[in-house]
Structure 1
């Protein structure tokens, strides 16, 4: 009996070690995203029919005093806010329902609102995802500070891009492609996502500056969670002796500023990855779906709660960026329609909108199928 309980409920079990951390990470990210839509929608005077974490059949729920149904649904792979006048969870307008609304309901229906209110409500979801990441990093920096190392070259790997470019031990990085750097992590961040791209480095050497160009090559490395990742490297090594690691502490205000910078770097890096992926310059196995997220959640949980919340921040940024892609039914697709409406002075025709939604839904489903295939068979 004890062995059975240990198998089912132990920290290394599938339930406690993987499923629960996965549900925690995904639920927090989805809840914050949908809460962004809900809060800004309510602020704009839009009526909300349902707020759901998950899709499919309702498991539990309740109605609040405004008539909104708050519920937890059976398929925990997302969520939605359904506004008055929506046909479905993607906020597709339902012309039939809008026509049948009472005058009072028509005033609070989503699709009868000015375009700026609809745009603000839609963009609030991704915006709250980015704010969640900023909040997580601000708290972590306030509590733990940040360990940094000086951007100094200790060793140059033989036959590496750095060796071919003329890097020498003792060189200190000044800038990478025109962007000043202060830590070795800055250099790694700017190089790791640019395999195959020539990069211009300015280095301090013997009292002066030298300018060298190196093209990062792809190398497999094991990250802190034990996953094998492919990143760009130029072949320089930083050691404790040369890097002189130090812990930087922050006041809450300083931590917030640092968190904004770090979140901005993650957004830029994710956007860069997606652009390179579309043109076939990134490994398809770097993209994963729910199975991969569940695996990483379990790995993070074993390292401690602070690793789990860092994963929440990373996933939150990713979800925010994906939702801003200009593809219906994603938030970015809605924003494209609203931009066209603002320019033309009238909504896009229902026929055109329906056709684009069908294509967009096909693309979204194809992407979901792709990442599921990667999770289960492809990588």
Structure 2
């Protein structure tokens, strides 16, 4: 319940901030162009709060927090007194109308840069793109534990998320990735990861895993948390012991302990358990005892437990000074825009799954998760959502800002506005496309909850 309420709250906060800035862009430019603004509403439906300023504009917060709008004086919507016709939106020049409509997406773009600037000033904590374990395709390509990825196909990567995105992009394009790494001996070398060999229909959300990568921060140290007294390890091990090896096999993380204990039990007889305790290395003999698992099949236990659900400490930080953070924010905005447009292009051409389209349920869940990770991550989430709102609104779909801009560009070319019939047809098509997109987004959201 707490997660649900948190998700709803942070979605309302997120959309409230982004919609307010978007609509303020329209409002501010409309006022500068001499257009009378009748209402500035954050949310749809019945107003929960409203006030009117000295210019006659009603500012309102409405009951449904899934958008907003700026209502302007317009002869196409209602009769306008003769004395105010010069202040009607439809009577402004085409360039003024273009400026007013484009101002909303531009406001979201500016907000994205401002949020990323604040994030970089504060410093975003993250995990480095360091390999904890390599298997399968990655191991065959020469990757090994301790490698730190520096660049993928010429694009520098500072975090595991950036590295994962770059690898996923190469996989969707069915291309091998040229990866620059720094190994444990501090040597830089380029390795070719044959992502073009991934099977058809691979899971785009799990490309690094399917390629054989286990990031270092995924691997938790095998530090014992609990020891059962009436167990083979009861008189040998202590909480805080770090398991180093089992039966001669090196243990590099807690997830390696269970399969090695099973192998030791199947072999039969005692085995050597090497641990580090208070800086001293100990070799202890232990014999796993048989037990029945939840599925009724036999398994072997030694009576120890490791911490679960414990997040690893961050080992990377992206932080800049107040001035240096601005160009960094602009670069990051360009990178995110390129990734977003690239993903849209791949979905249209069939190179990426339509499962990547997300709706309000996913937005709410990610908003809550980002807020829980800290201010830096929530700012990043808001910036990404603001940029997405900018890009989506600029799509040439009637109903959206991009559709209106398309109408005005056609007006510039032909020298006169489109007919009411043509615009009505466009609006109908736009609504149908938007309804289809929203239906797909909700379908993916619900599927994500069920699976």
TM-score, normalised via structure 2 length: 0.67
Given the alignment of the two structures, is residue 82 of structure 1 paired with residue 71 of structure 2, yes or no?
Answer: yes
Alignment partner of 1:119 out of 98, 108, 115: 98
Q: Does 1:47 align with 2:47?
A: no
Deviates more, 1:52-61 or 1:190-199: 190-199
After superposing the two structures, state which structure 1 stretch, 195-204 or 133-142, moved more.
195-204
Q: Structure 1's 370 and 305: CA in aligned 2 closer, same or farther, altered over 3 A?
A: same
Please show how residues 30-45 of structure 1 align to structure 2 within 5 Å.
Answer: 30-45=19-34
Distance 1:203 1:13 in 2: 40
SS of the residue corresponding to residue 230 of structure 1 reads: helix
> CA RMSD for the aligned pairs?
3.3
Q: Mapping of 1:359-370 within 5 angstroms?
A: 359-370=429-440
Bigger Rg, structure 1 or 2: 2
Q: 1:163-196 deviations in whole A, cap 9, x for unaligned? A: 565667888867644x452646554442233423
Contact kept in structure 1, 2:151 and 2:181, CA below 8 Å: no
Unpaired segments ≥5 residues, structure 1 = 1-6, 87-93, 221-228
Q: Which blocks of at least 5 consecutive residues in structure 2 are unaligned?
A: 218-314
Q: Which moved more, 1:342-351 or 1:209-218?
A: 209-218
The answer to whether the 8 A contact 1:194-1:232 is kept is no
Number of aligned residues: 343
- Answer yes or no: is 1:349 the counterpart of 2:419: yes
Q: CA deviation at 1:135?
A: 1.0
Query: Which residue of structure 2 lines up, in the alignment, with residue 181 of structure 1?
Result: 156
2:30–2:36 contact (8 Å) kept in structure 1: yes
Distance of 1:174 and 1:53 partners within structure 2: 43
Q: 1:141 to 1:56 in 2, by over 3 A?
A: same
State the Cα distance separating 1:374 from its structure 2 match: 2.7
Change (3 A) 1:114 1:131: same
Q: How does 1:190-269 map to 2 (within 5 A)?
A: 190-197=166-173, 198-199=175-176, 201=178, 203=180, 212=192, 214-215=194-195, 217=198, 230-233=205-208, 234-236=211-213, 239=216, 247=317, 249-269=319-339
> How far has the Cα of 1:213 moved from its partner?
6.5
Encode CA deviations 1:225-268: one digit per residue, 9 max, x unaligned. Answer: xxxx815435456659xxxx664542211111111111211111
2:132–2:145 Cα contact (<8 Å) kept: yes
In the TM superposition, what are the counterparts of 1:1-379 in structure 2 within 5 Å? 12=2, 14-15=4-5, 17-85=6-74, 94=76, 97=78, 100-144=79-123, 149=128, 156-158=134-136, 160=137, 162=138, 176-177=152-153, 179-181=154-156, 183=158, 187-197=163-173, 198-199=175-176, 201=178, 203=180, 212=192, 214-215=194-195, 217=198, 230-233=205-208, 234-236=211-213, 239=216, 247=317, 249-377=319-447
Task: Call closer, same or farther: CA 1:375–1:309 in 2, change over 3 Å.
Answer: same
Counterpart CA distance in 1 for 2:63 and 2:131 is: 53
Going from structure 1 to structure 2, the CA distance change for 1:377 and 1:219 (only over 3 Å counts) comes to closer
Distance 1:236 1:295, change over 3 A: closer
1:311 and 1:173 map into 2 onto residues whose CA distance is 24
Q: Provide TM-score, normalisation by structure 1.
A: 0.78
Q: Residue 82 of structure 1: SS of its match in structure 2? A: strand
- Residues 62 and 204 of structure 1: CA distance in aligned 2, closer, same or farther (over 3 Å): closer
CA contact under 8 A between 2:370 and 2:381: conserved in structure 1? yes
Cα separation, 1, equivalents of 2:429 and 2:395: 14
- Structure with more of its chain in helix, by fraction: 1
User: How far 1:105 moved relative to its partner?
Assistant: 2.0
Give the distance between the partners of 2:139 and 2:30, measured in 1 at CA: 56
Q: Distance in 1 between matches of 2:442 and 2:421?
A: 32
How far apart, CA to CA, are the structure 2 residues paired with 1:130 and 1:157? Answer: 41
Deviation at 1:141, TM superposition (A): 1.0
**How much has 1:210 moved relative to structure 2?**
5.8
